[in-house]
């Protein structure tokens, strides 16, 4: 009891002086309800079960730690892709750097504008999916984002959107502390691709809530990095309807601390939900945490979790993944794999895979492994004239291949493979 009270006292100290952004009645109510959830749960500490491997103190501190700027000499990702660019600089929308938001088949608004409207479709999603995702595992940093987010975008896809929507997050202030919240609604039989790129801020809290209608398709590709000192916590909540498809992939470079949480709720029959990620970390200051929770609450649905981490020089990787199959969710096909490639004896991979099944006609599996580069394969390549550096890099890329295969668009996957090759070449 004393420990719980200390946690709540620390939370109140963090929230002291917090003023909720203004808006329409529904927006104010959503923010107030989220802030009350934070107060009831308390901000996380390492004593919480789902934070035992990751220290959240730098994410919950009142002041954000600074992060030095990294000059990017590679050029922007997806530069050759015909896309709609939406640019944020240290968490603030930059209309001058962004493209015209008028695109066929989709409605795009700034969150700040949408939340001033008395009647808006975002009312049924903003904070709603996050609140649903608080059980059975509490996610107080997600509720804090709902309460405090001052910028972001709301998107409603009404047809097949011809161009990907690209959120570009630029980091220009060493002390920036950004809180963004994006909402996406994909109507029945509509289709959209969302790209996210860039380091965003010294400390970044970003949330994405996605609602899919029947037969909707949502493809999501995200690249996080490359600032070495940045800290980020991201949440994705999705509700997936009948015959719809949700696919999300994240590639992470560098960073002191990254925590990506994905909470998917499959509520319609014959739906598909894939979430995957790859990360490459170098140095004892690198800590990367993927935490995933997929709930099957419908018949004949498929989910996949595929996560690969390459760690060296004392880097740490974490994976916590769960598949929950509710009673009546027959014919469920759930697959989960988390693997790490440890390039030295100082790095570590901490994994907590879980299955909880209340239906009897399912095919669910999970596995987690850690290992070094295959010496036999390395010898084979070396014996054929491949240099040691190139051989190790080839085997590393081969290890990451299964995660990259989860990207629906091969052109996007190829560009990320190219960036991985460059990262490996720099760190060889």
Question: What pLDDT, in 10s, does the model give residues 159-176?
Answer: 999 999 999 999 999 999
Classify 393 as helix, strand or coil.
Answer: helix
In a domain, 425, yes or no: no
Cβ 223 vs Cβ 193: under 8 Å: no
Tens digits of per-residue pLDDT, 259-284? 999 999 999 999 999 999 999 999 99
Q: Is the peptide bond before 255 cis (omega within 30 degrees of 0)?
A: no
In a domain, 406, yes or no: no
In a domain, 4, yes or no: no
**Token representation of residue 5:** 């009270």
Cβ 202 vs Cβ 228: under 8 Å: no
In a domain, 329, yes or no: yes
In a domain, 386, yes or no: no
Residue 73 has a pLDDT of 66
Tens digits of per-residue pLDDT, 291-347? 999 999 999 999 999 999 999 999 999 999 999 999 999 999 999 999 999 999 999
Number of domains present in the structure of the chain: 1
Across 341-355, average pLDDT: 95
Q: How many CB atoms lie within 10 A of CB 97?
A: 13
Residue 2: pLDDT band with limits 50, 70, 90: low
In a domain, 366, yes or no: yes
The sign of the torsion formed by the CA atoms of 84, 87, 91, 96 equals: negative
In a domain, 303, yes or no: yes
CA 312 to chain centre: 22
Residue 13 has a pLDDT of 81
In a domain, 275, yes or no: yes
Range of the domain at 369: 20-373
Pairing of β 92-93 and β 84-89: antiparallel
**Token representation of residue 135:** 């059980």
């Amino acid at each position: 009891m004393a420990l719980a009270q200390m946690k709540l006292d620390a939370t109140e100290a963090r929230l002291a002086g917090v003023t909720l952004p203004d808006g329409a009645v529904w927006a104010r109510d959503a923010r107030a309800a989220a802030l009350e959830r934070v107060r009831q749960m308390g901000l996380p500490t390492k004593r919480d079960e789902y934070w035992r491997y990751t220290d959240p103190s730098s994410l919950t501190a009142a002041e954000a730690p600074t992060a030095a700027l990294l000059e990017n000499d590679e050029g922007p990702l997806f530069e050759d892709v015909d896309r709609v660019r939406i640019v944020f600089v240290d968490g603030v929308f930059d209309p001058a750097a962004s493209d015209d938001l008028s695109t066929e088949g989709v409605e795009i608004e700034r969150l700040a504008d949408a939340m001033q409207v008395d009647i808006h479709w975002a009312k049924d999603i903003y904070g709603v999916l996050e609140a649903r995702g608080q059980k059975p595992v509490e996610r107080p940093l997600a509720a804090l984002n709902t309460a405090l987010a001052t910028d972001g975008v709301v998107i409603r896809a009404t047809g097949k959107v011809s161009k990907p929507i690209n959120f570009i997050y630029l980091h220009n202030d060493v002390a920036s502390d950004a809180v963004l919240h994006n909402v996406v609604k994909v109507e029945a039989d509509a289709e959209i691709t969302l790209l996210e790129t860039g380091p965003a801020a010294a400390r970044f809290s970003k949330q994405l809530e996605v609602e899919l209608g029947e037969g909707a398709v949502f493809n999501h590709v995200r690249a996080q990095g490359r600032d070495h000192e940045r800290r980020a916590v991201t949440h994705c909540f999705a509700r997936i309807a009948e015959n719809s498809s949700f696919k999300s992939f994240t590639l992470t470079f560098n960073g002191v601390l990254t925590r990506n949480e994905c909470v998917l709720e499959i509520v319609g029959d014959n739906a598909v939900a894939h979430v995957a990620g790859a990360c490459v970390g170098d140095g004892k200051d690198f800590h990367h945490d993927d935490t995933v929770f997929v709930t099957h609450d419908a018949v004949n649905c498929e989910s996949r979790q595929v996560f690969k981490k390459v760690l060296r020089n004392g880097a740490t990787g974490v994976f916590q993944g769960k598949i929950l199959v509710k009673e009546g969710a027959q014919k469920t096909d759930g697959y989960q794999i988390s693997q790490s490639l440890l390039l030295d004896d100082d790095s570590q991979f901490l994994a907590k895979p879980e299955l909880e099944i209340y239906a009897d006609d399912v095919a669910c599996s999970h596995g987690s492994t850690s290992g070094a580069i295959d010496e036999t394969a390395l010898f084979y390549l070396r014996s054929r004239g491949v240099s040691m550096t190139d051989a190790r890099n080839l085997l590393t890329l081969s290890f990451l291949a299964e995660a990259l295969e989860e990207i629906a668009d091969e052109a996007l996957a190829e560009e990320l493979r190219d960036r991985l090759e460059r990262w490996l070449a720099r760190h060889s």
